[in-house]
Structure 1
Amino acid sequence: MMSDHTNQDPATEAHWLTWLDWAGTQGIAVPADPAFTQARARVWEASEYVAITAARHPADFAELIASGDLESVYGAGDLAQRLETALASVTDEPSLQRALRIFRRREMLRIIWRDIAERAPLPETLEDLSELADVCIDAALARLHDWTCAELGTPRDAEGRPQRLVVLAMGKLGARELNLSSDIDLIFAFAQTGEVTGSPRALSNEQFFVRLAQRLVQSLASATVDGFVFRVDTRLRPFGEVGPLAMSFQAMEDYYQSQAREWERYAMIKARPVAGDPADRDQLMAMLRPFVYRRYLDFGAFESLRDLKRMIAKELYRRGMDANIKLGPGGIREIEFIGQAFQLVRGGRDPALQVRPIRQVLACLADRDLMPAEVIARLDAAYVFLRLVENRLQAYRDKQTHTLPDDAVNRLRLARSMGFADWTAFAAVLAEHRQRVQEQFDHVFAAPVEEAEPGDINLGMLWNGCHEPAHELELLKASGFADPEVARTRIAQFRDATARKGLSARGHDRLGHLMPQVLRLIAASGQPDRVLERMLRVLESVMQRTAYLAMLSEHPGILAQLACLAGMSPWFTDRIARHPLLLDELIDTRRLYAPLRRDELESELDALLAPVDAEDLEQQMERLHQFAQGNMLRVAAADLTEVIPLMVVSDYLTEIAEVAVARVLRLAFAHLVARHGRPTAILGEDTGFLALGYGKLGGIELGYGSDLDLVFIHGSESVTAMTDGPRSISNEQFYNRLGQRIIHMMTTRTATGALYEIDMRLRPDGTKGMLVRSLASFANYQETAAWTWEHQALTRARPVAGDPALARRFDEVRRAVLCRPRDPEQLRTEVREMRAKMRASLDRTGGGRFDLKQGAGGIADIEFMVQYAVLRWAADYPTLADWTDNIRQLATLARFDLLPGQSAQELTDAYKALRAAYHRSALQEQPKTIPLDQLEAERGRVRELWRALMEDAHREAVNGQD
């Protein structure tokens, strides 16, 4: 709203009268419309700077009125073009400084007018101010560089390429959020050390660029009769005021990797190059990014920012500056800290958070559901209000201040500039915004406190090891440990291991804070002996990684989830101990127990791979491993807690594998195309390559830790066809290299393990066969040379990644092979004999335990019977070839009444029960066996059906022939 401005300050009105007198002598008419009159009165009341500047330089204000710029929005590039025109005649530094200051004065009049008169919303004001600084820096530097080269020579790199100064804008300018009278924080850098050529004396590149940076700072910041352009602060550079004004990229990298302090990460979030060679700018930002954004979730940022805020609050208290709307309680800095804490923690994993403007960060937090949308809306509204207040404070005298006035006159002036009738009304709204900000800041940065339940035994003393052994054993026994002596020994061994491994002081503090909580959760788990062993294994794997200890400190809920899952299965703690990144998955229980489906998996993998360079194979593999392991963990968590039914567990696990295989194929294909071009003359509409899944992958029946049976085929039919790139190779070579790269990406062990184990032995001719075959060759092999067991395997084969057109052609080949007529008796004999060979070599039944897969009456018997039935009847019932999984194949056999009685349903029930036990054994990391007295009825029925279908029918057929 616009407040009444009839009661004007006599001093500011005198400035207006001065301008009117000048306008009268020049014959310049004053706009008569009421909107101008009201806006003029409001601006003159709110900004003594504008009133005085217009009186002292009346032509500037007159030109702004005449040009219409007071009412216009600048377009992209307008300001830079205007500045180039203003600097067209400058030939030396004095004339450059004068032209820049005159230009700045004119544009500040316009920006302040539009801000106070509410012609421009806050984003436009901040953008205009930031653009003004950008163009002044860039235009001044361009001229100063040329003049310095003319005087001192040209700085060059080792290859003789001329170099230019790179200017990093920090703080509000870096984020394009500059306020009306802000300093600009700058850091200066150059690409390479070297020598200046053409210099009258020996001069290093560093000396040249330090001199150039000094001249730039002077051109912008020195106060002349025309004022200044921008105050410049260079203290954010490496080593601060004692460091060199300009540093090489290598020197900067060394500093930020080894000596930078935590607050410098916070500052570097907003760093933005505003001048310099584009390639150098990109190189510098790529070098700085890993310093700012860690690859893991870095919860130590909360602790660091908590400490930084504490220091600021202490300094403000010492100065008595609680009225500071930037640094005080509930001020602008607290909003920035909230957003930037999440950026530091999660930005390395989520590129969407690697943005500079704080309002974009807040919006991203809402989009990612990292903070409630209504909280974000309140923070955003508070930020806009506080930034407007900041601008009004600074617009008054073009002075950098963030302190609310304490006298009645200036309080009223500020309130009216914000559209309020009086200070009381304004102060109430301001206090409400600041209270909301402070409440949210305190919530986000509150040091986590884990409250002990009433009656809990104090197990913290066990960690300190300061009591007599007998007393400690009593505590452990009272806490529910079945074997207190073993538990006490394990705790002592772990404590000794932390001492031997040389934890930092901060690491010791964090662990000391964590262990009482850990022991309390273990004691409450219901099976503390087992959970203690498993949780200590995880803690031992992360104890030297303080970021993970910080994560556990900031999110005690992770420990609770870990204790819960550890009690259910060692699978979780073993995986997390090997891959601590998986701790991230325990933060949000909504995600942990909600496995993703295909579209969501694709989106998550897109986000993980987005920041990785296309040629960074190691990081691509790391992110793929992280993707697969994290999603498998979610499936296991949902499985054990029965959030999802058992029969869809394999669906989830199979989709994870399919998405991973498809992405590896895409990455590997893009890599080879970049080098050799695309294969030509292929069957297909995309890559001309197909990855076939066999076995559990093909049958959509993957378990935990299953390997992937893959076969690769391509669509090139011509042995002379070549790729179309400058480094052309034959299609055969291309596809063979593609298959090799896929296997390499999926099986190579990195720091986070291997993506999957791959088995390629089911390809034509097995291990002796070509790694990748053409579809025509594959079809010919299946028709003329394949063994019956290979046709059995084909019943479970399906495309899992690759060219859609080639997939359709494969399906035609597969259907033709499966649906051809067969001699039932010969087929039965060959299937039965293959099963006998397999059982003889693989069955681990014995010692009172039954092999779930290979034992008589186990999973493999069911699979062989289904495969026999599909091959036996597919010629007459082609629908049998539609499916690759046992359950739907059995359902189809039942639909056509091809198995006697309820055999199909009985096999289905037995198969589900056996697979459930198989899954559970995998999660308990036990051999895939069960005691002989378990599932006896199901196993017995499978054996009966095997005899009826595969043996008795054979004897009947033989007897009939006799």
Structure 2
Amino acid sequence: MPVGGRRDSRFGQLLRRGFTDPSAAGALLDTPALRPVAQQPTLLDALGAVADPDQALRALGRLVEAQPESERARLLDTLLAAKPLRDRLLAVLGASEGLADELVRHPATWQALVAFDTSDLHPGTEEFTAALADAHDRDALRVHYHRALLTIAARDLTGSSDLAQTAAELADLATATLRAALRIAEAGAPDDAARCRLAVVGMGKCGGQELNYVSDVDVIFVAEPVEGVPEETALRAATRLAAAMMRICSERTAEGTIWPVDANLRPEGRNGPLVRTLSSHLAYYQRWAKTWEFQALLKARPIAGDVPLGEEYRAAVAPLVWRAAERENFVPDVQRMRRRVERSVPAAQLDRELKLGPGGLRDVEFAVQLLQLVHGRTDPELRRAPTLDALAALADGGYVGRADAAELDRSYRFLRTVEHRIQLHRLRRTHLMPTEESELRRLGRSLGFTVDPVRELTAAWRRHTSGVRRLHEKLFYRPLLDAVARLEAGQVRLGEGAAKERLEALGYTDPAAALRHLTALASGVSRKAAIQRTLLPVLLDRFADSADPDAGLLGFRKVSDALGTTPWYLRLLRDEGAAAENLARVLSAGRLAPDLLLRAPEAVALLGDPAGLRPRGRAALTQETRAAVGRAGGPEAAATAARGVRRRELFRTAAADIIGAYAPEDSPDATTDQGAALDLVGSALTDINAATLVGALEAARAARGGEPLTRLAVIAMGRFGGRELSYGSDADVVLVHEPLPGADESAAADQARAWANEMIRLLQLPSVDPPLPVDTDLRPEGRNGPLVRSLASYAAYYRRWSLVWESQALLRAEPVAGDEEVGRRFVELIDPLRYPAEGLPERSVLEIRKLKARMEAERLPRGADPTTHTKLGRGGLSDIEWTVQLLQLRHGAELPALRTTGTRPALAAAAAAGLLTEEDAAVLDEAWVLASRVRNAVMLVRGRPLDSFPTDTRETAAVARYLGYEPGTAGMMLDDYRRVTRRARGVVERVFYEG
């Protein structure tokens, strides 16, 4: 074969093996030093498997040429014969130019890679100390250090050790190096060594046994005089030794450098003395230390010098570390520090920062350390220095969800491994992702990405940083965290005596019962109990912020008993801080919402999702209710299904109402416009009841069977028709039907009546779900008239017998269920009655006024206070609604804007038309909104409707809290109510009664 053909064949072979410059590689293989390699496919295959085959081949050529003539063949023969050595050496050469330079500078060093076998020997501090024992000066220490570093990198790059093992080995090598450096320093100053005891305490990643390949080694020095030596003399001696030790490691010699020793984490930083006594350290930490200094001390570990003194130091500072979270503004301080670190990164580098940027290593480390400091006060299992060990402990203890912890663990390992590979390349301290494609390719291949290394690496990097950032914000800014940190450790695990006193101080009236609930919830060693111990201190304060803390805690125990074995429940409360806050508010706000929740505790899931508390809308509710009814196996089961949907939606509405009422004004849950919040509740309750009627009517029709003879429509009346229901409102309806063509009218009427009666029966069956009372008394002739009439019958009645009060009642008529066409035609039928073309005759006006006056005199309950009765009292709902409805009857024909079933829209339209002054309209609107909110508050608190303020002081206080009053100001609430309604009554006197 021609020479050119052989070259072309080798070119293709090299290209397939991953060489990016096959021509240059071929030229190298033709050199005398590497010609034997070209003849060995095994070696070429091994080169093609490394991170950068071109770099590895160049380095191998340099290494072979650096060998004495007699050793070259031995190196190549050993590479060919010994696969472990081949894999290790070529992996290092292909990933690290820095270590390749060290190998070339000391050609015999490659033999260190033969000294261990595939049994995965993982040396520790003692093995590294022995390896450095012959280093008696700075240059020798560097040579021995780099030889040991080579072995660590070889194990790492060939997969013999994982990230955690590699980082621990690097920390152990640093420890051995510091010991050797201190030994050299002491040998150079024996008098100083005799005057003091000097302990070197490892900090940061060295202390945490998770060091990088190239990193500063953070230390703190502690010294004590030996017996008979003055303290000042001993400290000067210790300072000279410490400074010498730092120089031995940090200074550059003919053999390069090792790494800087950084003592800036000491008290007062670089402005403070390099060495202090133990008592001086403690005095500083007790009086002057900042939050970040306690965070740094999490990883403090004696590593060199006088180890017993170092252990004394660690034991003395540990209690201060685990009390740091009780400092004022501790959590916000740590959060601000993380933001400050991020802001320190130049904008041009932020997206490339593996360590300090968003989604970087610091995000994981800060989140883990913050959780350790907050919860480690009472859980010693969390007091672990390595980040991954601490993360695992947080997951085991229930402080972090297992899935979240697993994702953080994977991402942290990935990012640290990327950081290691980048630093290994030239043995430089850097945390920036490279931008050159060749460097990204080498990096990607070193991590096992072989198809499209650059694209695969970039995608994995972005995926991991995005996940880290999301989880960092979830954990690091968890709303409960600051509240837990503010509690004293004794409050997290309450002793019985202190607990009762604490509970009494918080306002619990039965501390013994409360303590029983706490014991039942939080005792034991299970994950569930651990999470409860995290949650309870915060929830206790939240309950105490309500009018009835005992009820809140009891409700929480009932919900927890019902859902305690459900894996998502406590995870939701722990991981989604809003869920726990919201649950506390809901459980302590009264009886209605907790009663609804306890009938179906799984609805607590709604509290963790901001979208979960938004009203779902009539169309969605109707569709779900119809589907549930369709799946049911009989009319009773169908009614149960429809009422189950209603119960859940009532809870959703009540929970959203409570949370919005109690939320701070700057909270996203807060609704600053109380009228708008009330409208949302009224609209949601209307949609819920309408969907329930649809389901019940369909169940009733299915139960009766047979061919349909008629079409039935349900017309909402009163507050139901006005979309302004309260929690305690009945569903006021009238029922209208239209016989199908050809059907017998009598039979059609019987069928419509049977459907209506069955619908009402199904809605009132005994059930765990709240009933939906259906009131049909607003139909023609009231209780004495037929339950259902045809359209023709309604037309005949209204033509001959209709009274003015019936026209007034029809102002709020609105179809809500059944046949839409029949409902539309009914509206067309009644429009002339409720919006009379000629306006309202004066005699009708007088009749309405007489009816209103008689109602005030006769229907107000005996003994009721007319100044606080929300419905019939002075300036209450009836006053305002009758005033608005009179304006609608008189002017609805000429003013289309008045043709609305809602009180507030009609009031606004009347003001816009000049029928009311803006001031009068505002007064009436304020009173109507306030009275309606009071009715809702009373129902939420008592679980039963009441048209006045409750007499029980706790219930009154709870109503006041819902309305936004501070504790102890219920009297102010009543004064405000009387003031607002008194002003509204004045407007009613002028407008409705005309003076």
The structure with the largest alpha-carbon Rg is 2
Q: With the length of structure 2 as denominator, give the TM-score of the two structures.
A: 0.45
TM-score (normalised: structure 1) = 0.46
